[in-house]
Amino acid sequence: MALRAPKPLVLGTIQNRPIRPESGIFGPASAQLRATWIPETPLAFFRTRPLAMLANMNGMRVWAEIDLDGLTHNLAVIRQLSGPGVRLMLVVKADAYGHGAVGIAHHAVRAGIGALGVGTSEEALELREAGIRTPILVLGTVIDEEIRACLVHDVHLGVHTSDRLSQLAGLAAAMERPAKVHLNVDTGMGRLGVPPARALELLRKIAQSPHLELAGIMSHLAATRGALDPSGQAQVRSFDAFLDAARAITPNLGWIHMANSAGISSGLGSRYDTVRPGLAAYGAMPNDLPGAEHLRPVMRLRSQVVFLKDLPQGAPVGYESTWRAEHPTRIATLPIGYADGLPWRASPGGAVLIRGQRAPIVGRISMDYTTVDVGQIRDVAVGDRATLIGCDGGETIRLGDVARWADTIPYEISCSLGRRVHRRYVGGEDLPVPSQSVPPGVLGVPRALVPNRPPVQA
């Protein structure tokens, strides 16, 4: 990805005048500032979006409303579950699980998170280009060609091999700046990372190099129920034993992190000094683990009725005519299909909300369109809003519901939103500006939560 030369830091504009750090407006915004401040985030964001982004979303075929206040709330819940002083590394890989990494990252930094986790170096550089200066870790691994740009832009890298350490040390020496690395210890995931004994060898190499900075030690849980699963507990014991051995080699291990959403929910949030939540921050928990009930869905997926058709009894709908009207009814067509991320497998069984009521999806979901039975809903009209994820009236469809209909996991649903789905960011006005200067602890936290925390057997 081509990166522009760093620009002078501009935090936003007031009455067309740029706000720079030296403008002396750090801290909570005044009422006037709130009313007139145009944050840098949306501007940076719009640069990469078509002009249609600026139009009224209700005039769009399909759009996702991203509730930034919901994100603030979820981060506070995670903070409460993890305990005071624990650093939040928000995982924003895969375009923040489909929520839009740049918009989410800017808001999360304002909300006081301490770091961001991404999947690829390209994702890290996208955030740097958007002005994010918070520490960013590439959680997985990078390829050789990506390393230089990562060092230039101060991106932390997970490391797994001795060769990579040599390569990083050489480059860092030439660039006269240390490479910041997180040693990835495989305690049972079996994907990336190195087994503990080998990881100690890598640790010695890092400790001996003046060009490598040990920024952290990490491991990743395989069990989607975290420490509620015996295998999760075994991973914790293995990681703890590794950390004891590591401290004998070097006293400063940097950030220590293992807990993802399942780990936080199952009581591992306060065990180390950093947590890596993804799904929980977006309002869901894997397996509906404890804590899910306190979270607020961040994404609402909407479309609108573009066509209505009255069908006689026995009339077929969609490819392969998999559904036929049992009695005369009315079918509404929505301009959202599997190309937009609504899974093909969500029919039969799925539903959408129109006028606050459930309309079952009927017939096959196609690439661009979905058909729903609105025979039981009064006065449905072309232009009515359809909610595929979110609330309408007293009804709610959650990410997890769509995942269940499609026999998949919530992660896959939000990550699969297509390019045609416009993201619209709502809320977020109540956080202090600018995004990069929020002192820790400025956010209120919700009432005490009661997580179910099984102790990990020593």
Footprint on this chain of ligand PLP (rule: CB under 6 A): 91, 117, 139, 220, 260-262, 276-280, 286
Q: Which is nearer to ligand PLP, 117 or 350 (CB)?
A: 117
Nearest residue to ligand PLP, by Cβ distance, number only: 278
For residue 379, the minimal CB distance to ligand PLP (Å) is: 41
Q: Which is nearer to ligand PLP, 233 or 261 (CB)?
A: 261
For residue 220, the minimal CB distance to ligand PLP (Å) is: 4
For residue 255, the minimal CB distance to ligand PLP (Å) is: 13
Q: Which is nearer to ligand PLP, 76 or 433 (CB)?
A: 76
Q: Which is nearer to ligand PLP, 97 or 338 (CB)?
A: 97
Q: Which is nearer to ligand PLP, 357 or 408 (CB)?
A: 408
Cα gap 235→240, rounded to integer Å: 9
188 CB contacts (<8 Å, ≥6 apart)?
221, 222, 231, 234, 235, 238
Peptide bond into 348 cis (omega under 30): yes
Cα gap 392→315, rounded to integer Å: 29
Query: Catalytic amino acids?
Result: 93, 319
Q: Which is nearer to ligand PLP, 92 or 380 (CB)?
A: 92
For residue 152, the minimal CB distance to ligand PLP (Å) is: 24
Cα gap 204→171, rounded to integer Å: 19
For residue 156, the minimal CB distance to ligand PLP (Å) is: 13
Q: Which is nearer to ligand PLP, 62 or 259 (CB)?
A: 259
For residue 33, the minimal CB distance to ligand PLP (Å) is: 34
CB distance 81 to 451 below 8 Å: yes
Identify any residues that bridge with 303 across adjacent strands, giving them in sequence order.
Answer: 62, 386
For residue 217, the minimal CB distance to ligand PLP (Å) is: 13
Q: Which is nearer to ligand PLP, 213 or 412 (CB)?
A: 412
Strands 385-392 and 299-304: antiparallel
For residue 263, the minimal CB distance to ligand PLP (Å) is: 8
Cα gap 347→332, rounded to integer Å: 15
Chain centroid, CA 286 distance in Å: 14
